[in-house]
Amino acid sequence: MSRSVELGALVARRNPTSGVVASLLRVAGRDELPAAVLVGLLGDLGMREPAARRLLARMREDGQLAGRRDGRAVHLRLDGPFGAAVRRLGDDLGARPPEWTGAFQALLHAVPEQERAYRDRLRRTAVLAGYGVLQPGVLIAATDRSGDLADVLGDAPPGARVLVAELAVDTAEAARVAVGAWDLDGVAAVLRGHRDRLAAAAATPPAGGADGLRQLVELTNPVFVDLVRAPGLPTALLPPDWPAQDVVRRLTAVLARYVPPARAHVRSRLHAAGVR
């Protein structure tokens, strides 16, 4: 399996429907929403109630959502590595890229085959945290992100070895390595497609009500999902004409125009549910 295909397979575990739930929380401007309200909003997006309830239950089982009971209602919030990746993406939008220090931060791991479930969990969590796949057993990042993996590193089974290390690499070689480790060519092609769609959307007036919410989520959720794949690498390691900053600029313009009517619809849902 090539490194790009391997990375794509790992990132594919970021289920786009999970991203929809993150988008709804983002539109609401809240850290949590009642489960019943989320089910209704997912219905506004075309998801049948049983499917919406199954999605939320699966996300809780996978550690992507956590619940808080308030009387008979359950309020849900993003949790775990998925929640951390969503929050980090929000914090990183528009942020300056890090400086290249001349070394990758690396995770070297050797996990017995009988513990492959842990190995897969470690790799999925690392990729969500921003690591790329250099080769089997070696994950790299431009900055030390091992703190984001504290929980999974603390769960290492007997016989597993995980080492945090630093790999000094010449800048030109590091840029070449980054292309495969993060599938930069594939990510760039996807982001350019988003850039063109966002440019067209910026010239289109948003709808109101549930239609406006659906319009916003359909426009932006795929962008947020794929921006998780766009690593926060130093400029020196990125290909020429890297499109991420332009995508973020256009995304910001679309959000400024489309979020207000969509948020008004979410608030009407909350009001109908008696939530202030």
The better pLDDT of the pair 18, 197 is held by: 197
Asked if pLDDT for residue 3 goes beyond 70, the answer is no
Strand partners, 48: none
Instruction: Check residue 145 and give its pLDDT.
Output: 87
pLDDT in tens, 52-90: 999 999 999 989 999 999 888 899 999 988 888 888 877
> What per-residue confidence (pLDDT) applies to 184?
94
Q: How far apart are CA 119 and CA 1, in angstroms?
A: 16
CB atoms inside a 10 Å sphere around CB 91:
9
Largest CA-CA distance found in the chain, in angstroms, rounded: 59
Query: Is the distance from CB of 20 to CB of 206 less than 8 angstroms?
Result: no
Per-residue pLDDT of 39-58, as tens digits, reads 999 999 999 999 999 999 99
Q: Would you give the end-to-end CA distance of the chain in angstroms?
A: 51
Query: Can you read off the two tokens belonging to residue 202?
Result: 């910026």
